[in-house]
A and B are shown apart, each in its own frame.
Chain A
Amino acid sequence: MVNYLVTLRTDAALLIVAHGSTVNADSSAPTLAHAAEIRRREIFADVECAFWKEEPSLRDAVFLFDPESIREVCVVPNFISEGYFSQTVVPRELELYGRITKRSNGQIWRYCEPVGNHPIMTDLLLRRAQEIAPGVPKNEATLLIVAHGTDLNENSAVAAKREAEKIRSLGKYSAVLNVYMEEPPLVSEWRKLTKTRNVVVVPFFISDGLHSYEDIPVLLGIVVAAGGGCGQPGSALPATAAPGEIFRHNPYRVDNRSIFYAPSIGTDAGFADIILEQALNAKS
């Protein structure tokens, strides 16, 4: 945990904004948990969350902080990358014009960097990879950082690429690759992209949900699609397994290789530290 010696003014609030989901009940859970942890530390006078797809909405957020008592609001996007949501949707919905916006009521809103941009992220990815594959020699393993990838904003895949480069430069793993669900290099081509016996996979997502529970496991071949036969007999889970069960059966044996599959990085409790860091960076 980061040790904070700074106590912010009692007239400052933190707003954590995230995507949320209308179909996935677990989507907002990490964001709410990080907010509760930061609230517990009593650094801000108020800590609130707002979501694109859940409540309170980003539009509601404009009215969450009493301008009489809260003079400054730090907005931290709980997004993995600088992209469509952090650059277009969030500023538009919150009526933010650049890094600092002064409201007509005098309230100052500071728009901070998304959590995915913070240097601590590299440490969290390394820690999660170590936790999911303890005892596996890193020089005999490939680390895959899996992100979504999209054509809506070309920056979407940048954060995953940057993290892969940083970890690769440390020389710990035999190979470190950034792969994507919807753009090359595709996670579904991991057999061709990797050469090691062990493959450690960390989803670079804010929360667990459809992508980490189902989509990526199917693309990796560690889930048996209904009526189909992926991987070796007895090694894969049925597609009907309970959410979260997918992370409890490591390693998976596919084509004589071992796959270690981790929960999404955003569920790491260390995200609370990153959110605080981003807010403090914006204030300094």
Chain B
Amino acid sequence: MADPVEKLLETVCNDSRSFCVGEILVRKTSTGGFALSHRDDKATDQLKIFRSAEDAIDIAKHDDAGNYRPLKTAPKLRHGWRLDLETLEDLRRALDYFYPGRLAMFAAWKSDKLQITPLRETLERQSGMYRAAARISDSQINDVVADFCRSNGGCLRTILWKRDAEEVIASTKLPKEKFDPAYDQMMASKPPGSPTPATAPIPATIPLLCQEACNLLIAECRKVMKGE
């Protein structure tokens, strides 16, 4: 029995010949399989070919400069590869390695089961070395979130959480599209004049939803409080 994630992927695959997830372009092949590549490599022929969903683990691990990518939704996926997969199950597994947990969050959100947690609640819950992060001011949050979570160089997730229980927006310094699941965050990550201008047709896109601040953002809040 297919679970909600596979059903969702199946629906997306049936609706279009190609679609995007973050920086990845997924194209259906004539043999019923799938070809995955970096969106920037859409027109590139000289790509290194991989054939196992597990290859996604290594592809996603380092950026073009060889730096470790602790945040998989950071827009620094390396280029120059193509991953050929045979089944929908392989596709689901590979996308889970590229963007761990994001398909499940999207499926939960689509069925109104995704619980959203305000940043202040996440901060107040911390213990040990992260307890200090809770002392961060609203103004400091506004700056930290704007810098760390921005789609252009920071993170491609769509923020669903609010700053606090009063439903205050996470950062007034981010564009309103950052909070819109219908918006393709890759459009915001491209500088003006880049090969994929904002005016180009936008392919079907599965958003990378963020229902709660990640540990990396909490660590950034702590750094501010520690003056690091």
Contact = CB atoms under 8 A, between A and B. Distances in A.
A and B from one assembly?
A: yes
Given A23-B70, A24-B68, A60-B104, A69 B215 contact: no
Interface in B47-103: 54, 57, 61-62, 68, 70-73, 99-101
Interface stretch (A47-55, A131-139, A141-149, A182-190): A47-55
Interface stretch (B21-29, B34-42, B112-120, B166-174): B112-120
B1 A69 contact: yes
A98 interface: no
A66 B3 contact: yes
Contact of A55 (B62, B71, B115, B219): B71
B57 A64 contact: no
B114 A63 contact: yes
B3 A55 contact: no
A56 B101 contact: yes
B4 interface: yes
B128 A152 contact: yes
Contact of A54 (B100, B113, B122, B219): B100
Contacts of B113: 63, 67, 105
Nearest to A59: B212
B115 A22 contact: no
B127 interface: yes
Contact of B70 (A21, A60, A89): A21
Which of under 10, 10 to 19, 20 to 34, or 35 or more describes the interface residues of A? 20 to 34
A277 to B, nearest CB: 24
B165 interface: no
Contacts, number: 75
A60 B4 contact: no
A189 B56 CA distance: 43
Interface string A53-96: 11111011111101111000000000000001000110010000
Kindly name the residue among B3, B72, B105, B122 whose own CB sees the greatest number of chain A CB atoms within 10 A: B3
B100 A55 contact: yes
Interface string A25-57: 100010010001000000000100110111111
Task: For the complex of A and B, list the 10 residue pairs with the smallest distance between their C-beta atoms, beginning with the closest.
Answer: A56-B101, A22-B70, A55-B100, A60-B101, A25-B68, A63-B108, A56-B100, A66-B3, A64-B104, A59-B212
24 contacts: A29-B57, A36-B54, A46-B3, A50-B101, A54-B100, A55-B72, A55-B99, A55-B214, A56-B100, A56-B104, A57-B101, A61-B101, A63-B108, A63-B113, A63-B114, A63-B115, A64-B101, A66-B4, A66-B5, A66-B107, A84-B128, A89-B127, A105-B113, A152-B128
Interface of A: 21-25, 29, 32, 36, 46, 49-50, 52-57, 59-64, 66-69, 84, 88-89, 92, 105, 152
